[in-house]
Amino acid sequence: MTSLTITRPDDWHLHLRDGDMLARVLPDTARQFARAIVMPNLVPPVTTVALAGAYRGRILAALPAGMAFEPLMTLYLTERTSPQDIAEARASGFVQAVKWYPAGATTNSDAGVSDIDRCHATLQAMQDHDLPLLVHGEVTGADVDVFDREAVFIETLLKPLLQRFPKLRVVLEHITTRQAAEFIAAAPANVAATITPHHLLMNRNALFTGGLRPHHYCLPVLKREEHRRALVAAATGGSPKFFLGTDSAPHTRGAKESACGCAGMYSAHAALELYAEVFEAEGALDKLEAFASFHGPDFYRLPRNTDRITLVREAWTLPAQLGEGTDALVPLRAGTELAWRLQSTAG
């Protein structure tokens, strides 16, 4: 196959940041995706509809002229988020979901939830208003091995939550394990998952290839090859419960190449090309469109996009970095060759 034309996709898990970084990364996403679920882990976090509305305004203002893109906003769940906040979110028309960060689990999660039981009334309101809960599915604390945190989260926090709120729509974000893929596949239709390009392309060896590779550090951390295989099978298997979410999470080179480097990989610059590589290697390019463009809007009950994009099989080399100096972004697969290229839709 030399080209592939599909319905324009959406990104169901994205970090756009704010200010200068927002302006730098937004065009990479808007070039490919019609919409994205925008994560609320700013500093300070996006905890109210008013803050989400203001952030949405800054995103639209940062969009280059002539580019169409719709940010789908989320609220950052805290132990003080009220049922009233949920009613307002539902009524806003632009807040699509609420994000649960276990406190301390990942980047900018300190304001997150220490005890989910304290959110009972708010979760009840979400179920009643049919507002989806998005989950960073890892337990915290030094007593659980970092590679086991997702599997333990499913058993100790997610299963009990779904027992209490069986109709709540839940997306387990950026899944990384066989246990998560199996759990989602067996769960009812109101429970789904996003899968990133990096967890489909790499296993944990990529953290240590010839030395320590800080640009391959993200949370949940990369896992063993058997888990990557399970994710590839889930993504390419055609199930509507799995859909595209890049978790593109920009941090500057200075913040990544550090004695205590930040978690997160930047993949928005070539997200679709990276997914295409995975699906092609699996002989499943015919499944890419549903994963990238259908399953997400169907789950969120939003219309599918109607315009189309084309990928061509044309090798190109990614830049070694985007920008200069310690402020540069080192994109996923920096300096290496990609087989697929998104055809420019401008002009």
Ligand X SMILES: NC(=O)N[C@@H](CC(=O)O)C(=O)O
**Residue numbering of the annotated binding site for substrate:** 15-17, 41, 136, 219, 251, 263
Residue 181 · residue 230 · CB < 8 Å: yes
Backbone angles phi, psi at 263, to 5 degrees: -90, 135
Query: Residue 218, interface with ligand X (CB under 6 A)?
Result: yes
Binding partner of residue 264 among ligand X, Zn ion, none, CB cut-off 5 to 8 Å per kind:
ligand X
Pairwise CA distance, residues 45 & 219, whole Å: 18
List the strands of the sheet with 337-342, edge to edge: 3-7, 308-317, 337-342
Write the CA distances from 254 to 109, 207, 208, integer angstroms: 21, 18, 19
Q: Which of 138, 12, 132, 142 is nearest to 72 (CA)?
A: 12
Residues 117-146, one symbol each (x = binds Zn ion by CB under 5 A, - = not), give -------------------x----------
> Shortest distance, CB of residue 15 to ligand X, whole angstroms?
5
Binders of Zn ion among 241-270, rule CB under 5 A? 247
Question: Which of 197, 264, 297, 331 forms a contact with ligand X (CB under 6 A)?
Answer: 264
Beta carbon of residue 258, minimum distance to ligand X (angstroms, whole number): 14
CB of 245 to ligand X, least distance (A): 9
Site for ligand X in 54-73 (CB under 6 A): none
Q: Output the known binding site.
A: 13, 15-17, 41, 99, 136, 174, 219, 247, 251, 263
Q: What backbone phi and psi angles, to 5 degrees, belong to 279?
A: -65, -35
> How far does Cα 274 stand from its chain's mean position?
14
Q: Is 196 left (phi over 0), alpha (psi -120 to 50) or beta?
A: beta
Which residue lies nearer to ligand X by CB, 113 or 249?
249
Task: Please report, as residue ranges, which positions from 237 to 256 form the binding site for ligand X (by CB under 6 A).
Answer: 247, 249
Residues in the chain: 347
Q: Is residue 85 annotated as part of the catalytic site, yes or no? A: no
Among residues 247, 286, 298, 307, the one annotated as catalytic is 247
Q: Which residue is nearest to ligand X (CB)?
A: 264
- The answer for residues whose C-beta is within 8 angstroms of residue 335's C-beta and 6 or more apart is 317, 318, 319, 320
Residue choice 24, 99, 136, 295 for contact with ligand X (CB under 6 A): 136
State in angstroms the smallest separation of the CB of 180 from Zn ion.
13
Rounded Cα distance between 75 and 45, Å, is 8
Residues that bind ligand X (CB under 6 A): 15, 41, 106-107, 136, 218-219, 247, 249, 263-264
Active site residues: 247
Q: Which residues sit at the interface with Zn ion, rule CB under 5 A?
A: 106, 136, 247
